[in-house]
Structure 1
Amino acid sequence: MPRDNMTSTVQKIAKQALTTFRHPSVVGEHNKVFLENLSKLKSLMAEVRAADLKIVPRTVESAPMPSQRIAPPVTCMHIYETDTFSMGVFLLKTGASIPLHDHPGMYGMLKVIYGKVRISCFDRLAKPRDGVSGVQFNPPLMPFQMSSLRPSVLRSVGEYTEENGSCVLSPQKDNIHQIDAVNGPTAFLDILSPPYDPDEERDCHYYKVLHAHSEAADRKREAQEPGDLWLMEIPQPSEFWCGGEPYPGPKVSL
């Protein structure tokens, strides 16, 4: 059963998130104290369920009436935010996706509370593995599009339900990712640290995956090896937008 706000799971998670990310100078994969705190945070997030947040799992949505306004494919319940981290719940309708996007310089943690999501994670490479000469795309790209291209690699594709632990995205690994609802509506608790802030160059960017055509890429295809992947920055896709709705669960007080 959900507990009061001072002992609730979400209160414990928020307190541990503050402890984990409070001091940016020690946040990093090579700091023992940070890794210990991150492990504690992951353990706490593994415990959270929809009932702890007083959220009733959604069923398959009915189609809107012609006179009704089209509902957003994704909505967000804001829970808490400080300069250190933000916390909320994202709810995805059946078939919805949060398109390929990044969290520049940020850690991301998500824990499914009902349904199933598929998370596809990419990393940008420091430089092209085989150089940029001879690289072609179909259809051809304009010069301004070519300037935004970055070589990349698909790091992982995984599916998560409420029975799984949390998924962790770091500034260095799995930072560019897409989240898809699988076989019905789904929702997940989300923590970002530090929060998005365009003034601090932490703005959200969207990407499209392109497959290169080059001699090197052709050799890889012939050898049945993964070919070259490139990420091109694009505007926010028109089919995606995020609405808001009230959070019904225990309040957070830090």
Structure 2
Amino acid sequence: MPRDDMNPPVIHRIARQARLTFRGLGSADAGKGFSENLAQLKKLVSEIRAEDLKIKPRKNSAAPPISVPHNPPVTYMHICETESFSMGVFLLKGGTSIPLHDHPGMHGMLKVLYGKVRIMGFDKMEAVPPSELPPLLQPYQRSSVFRAMLRSSGEYGDSSPPCLLSPHRDNLHQISAVDGPAAFLDILAPPYDPDDGRDCHYYKLLPGSTEHTNTGEGDGHQQAAADGVHPREVWLLEIPQPDDFWCGGEPYPGPKVTM
């Protein structure tokens, strides 16, 4: 990004702030000023709009059948990536979801650009003794089951504040398009890197872990799992990537961001 640009596009300012916020995560002095920098990043991300990225809302379209691999239910526009963070845009067709998945050791920030999404956030809990595992598990599943807390559930639109996740709070989540297509800006820090222990894993709720989501008009405020509406604890089973989910790519049309 040019150093003499006195009025850079908001996506440039977001990238600069993300680099400042997440630089040196995991080092001894990484926590210095982190909260203040994160608050500034959240403020900038709150300002972003679809038109700032030259993205136009898509028409309502249903998810394609699994037999049509060239027409994925979810696509991703890559904006930029450094060692400390990655940034891009996910576009969901109507009726589709990014399945329940995790972000090991990662921070994240999500801002809806158009449409509406429902986000369910879970926290992984401490391991439980084998004697306390749920019944009816296959032997090979016993090492892939764990307790989690349904921490939050809410609907987000383009006027909602960003949704945040941290390594220990709302780190597992599912994102579903509501009432048509949706798109959101996504920042992850540090980026996924299987070689460094940050691979994406998928999960499903086991029977008996009844999910309940907020179906009212969303204002972006997360509903606490402890409010009596949501179960506080659930059983999750790690699974392969679901057959009905895959993510394609498409060009990013907005201002170029270089780091």
Task: Point out where structure 1 has 5 or more consecutive residues left out of the alignment.
Answer: 214-222
Residue 136 (structure 1) shift: 3.5
How far apart, in 1, do the equivalents of 2:258 and 2:69 lie? 36
> Corresponding residue for 1:154?
150
Instruction: State yes or no: 1:136 paired with 2:137.
Output: no
Q: Which residue does the alignment assign to 2:18?
A: 17
Equivalent residue of 1:191, what SS?
strand
User: 2:242 maps to what in 1?
Assistant: 237
Q: Percent identity?
A: 58
Segments of 5+ residues of structure 2 without an aligned counterpart are: 210-227
**Paired residue for 1:218?**
none
Cα deviation for residue 49 of structure 1 reads 0.2
Distance 1:232 1:202, change over 3 A: same
Aligned pair partner of 1:247 in 228, 234, 252 = 252
Using the alignment, how far apart are the partners of 2:61 and 2:173 within structure 1? Answer: 25
- The aligned residue for residue 95 of structure 2 is 95
For residues 231-251 of structure 1, give each alpha carbon's deviation from its aligned partner in whole angstroms, at most 9, with x where no partner exists: 111000000000000000001
Amino acid of the structure 2 residue aligned with 1:200: D
1:126 — aligned with what? 126
Deviates more, 1:4-13 or 1:163-172: 4-13
CA distance in 2 between counterparts of 1:182 and 1:26 reads 42
RMSD: 2.7
Corresponding residue of 2:61? 61
Provide Cα deviations, 1:151-186, integer angstroms capped at 9, x if missing partner. 111000011001011111100100000000000000
Aligned position for 1:202: 198
Using the size of structure 2 for normalisation, the TM-score is 0.83
Structure 1: distance between partners of 2:243 and 2:35:
38
How far did 1:188 drift? 0.2
Deviation (angstroms), 1:144: 1.3
The aligned runs of 1:179-194 (5 Å cut-off) are 179-194=175-190
Letter in 2 for 1:133: S
Give 1 or 2 for the bigger CA radius of gyration: 1
Does 2:163 correspond to 1:167?
yes
Find the partner of 1:176 among 144, 153, 172.
172
What SS does the corresponding residue of 1:57 show, helix, strand or coil? coil
Which stretch of structure 1 is more off in the superposition, 224-233 or 155-164?
224-233
Total equivalences in the alignment: 235
Displacement of 1:134 in angstroms is 5.5
In the alignment, residue 124 of structure 1 is paired with which amino acid?
A: K
> CA separation in 2, counterparts of 1:51 and 1:26?
39
Correspondences of 1:5-84 after superposition (within 5 Å): 7-24=8-25, 25=27, 31=31, 33-61=33-61, 71-84=71-84
